[in-house]
């Protein structure tokens, strides 16, 4: 009797972890698409395909869910930049300044979310302390990943500055109905200027 009971308990716990993860992913997606104010227990339950009670069972409150969702989002963005850095370190090294700028843009800008939506939710996050804290806590990993990209593309600039320029260019472009990537590309080209040198490969 003991083994079946243990197996059943393990399966139950695994199902619980999977459901909790699905709820966090649903909340994170809502934040990315609609902003933090759209995250309610009812909206998350509908998105995750679970009962309303499940969204309260696995979390002490909405703030905990928002914090977990914010952590997932910043990890997602850091992971994107890390993938670019990994590709470069594996041998796909940009040979020109234009290629270096393109690599930086890939590391800094999402491709799976409309850019206006991405930046609107980033600005709206200022109204949610749990998400703000999560983004701040995860920012170091993003900075480090972008720093790796800069190091291997011959751009002698701090990652914090480059990210700020890209984000600023994006907000400006969105507010003026201009192309975000082209605006960011032009500003990066001006910023990098003579600071760029061909990376040493070998």
Residue range 97-155, pLDDT digits in tens: 999 999 999 999 998 889 999 999 998 988 999 999 999 999 999 999 999 999 999 89
What is the model's pLDDT at position 202? 57
In the chain, what are the domain boundaries? 2-195
Digit-coded pLDDT (tens) for 143-202: 999 999 999 998 989 999 999 999 999 999 999 999 999 999 999 999 998 778 877 665
CA angle at 51 for the pair 60 and 19, rounded to the nearest 5°: 65
Is the pLDDT confidence value at 12 over 80? Answer: no
CATH 3.30.300.250 fits 2-195, yes or no: no
DSSP assignments along 129-185, one per residue: HHHHHHHHHHHHHHHHHHHHHHHHHTB-S-HHHHHHHHHHHHHHHHHTT--HHHHHH
- What average pLDDT does the chain have? 92
Is the pLDDT confidence value at 13 over 70? Answer: yes
Is the pLDDT confidence value at 81 over 80? Answer: yes
What is the model's pLDDT at position 201? 63
pLDDT bracket for residue 8 (50, 70, 90): confident
Cβ(35)–Cβ(121) below 8 Å? yes
Task: Please tell me whether the overall predicted TM-score, pTM, comes out greater than 0.75 for this model.
Answer: yes
């Amino acid at each position: 009797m003991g083994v079946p009971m243990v197996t059943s308990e393990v399966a139950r716990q695994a199902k619980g972890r999977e459901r909790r993860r699905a709820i966090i992913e649903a909340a994170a997606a809502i934040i990315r698409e609609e902003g933090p104010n759209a995250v309610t227990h009812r909206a998350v339950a509908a998105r995750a395909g679970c009962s309303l009670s499940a969204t309260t069972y696995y979390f002490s409150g909405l703030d905990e869910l928002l914090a977990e969702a914010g952590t997932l989002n910043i990890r997602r963005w850091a992971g994107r930049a890390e993938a670019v850095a990994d590709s470069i370190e594996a041998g796909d090294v940009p040979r020109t300044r234009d290629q270096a700028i393109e690599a930086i843009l890939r590391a800094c800008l999402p491709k799976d979310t409309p850019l206006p939506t991405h930046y609107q939710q980033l600005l709206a996050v200022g109204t949610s302390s749990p998400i703000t804290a999560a983004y701040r806590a995860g920012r170091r990993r993003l900075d480090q990943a972008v720093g790796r990209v800069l190091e291997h593309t011959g751009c002698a600039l701090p990652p914090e500055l480059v990210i700020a320029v890209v984000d600023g260019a994006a907000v400006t472009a969105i507010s003026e109905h201009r192309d975000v990537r082209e605006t960011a590309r032009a500003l990066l080209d001006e910023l990098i200027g003579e600071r760029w040198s061909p990376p040493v490969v070998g």
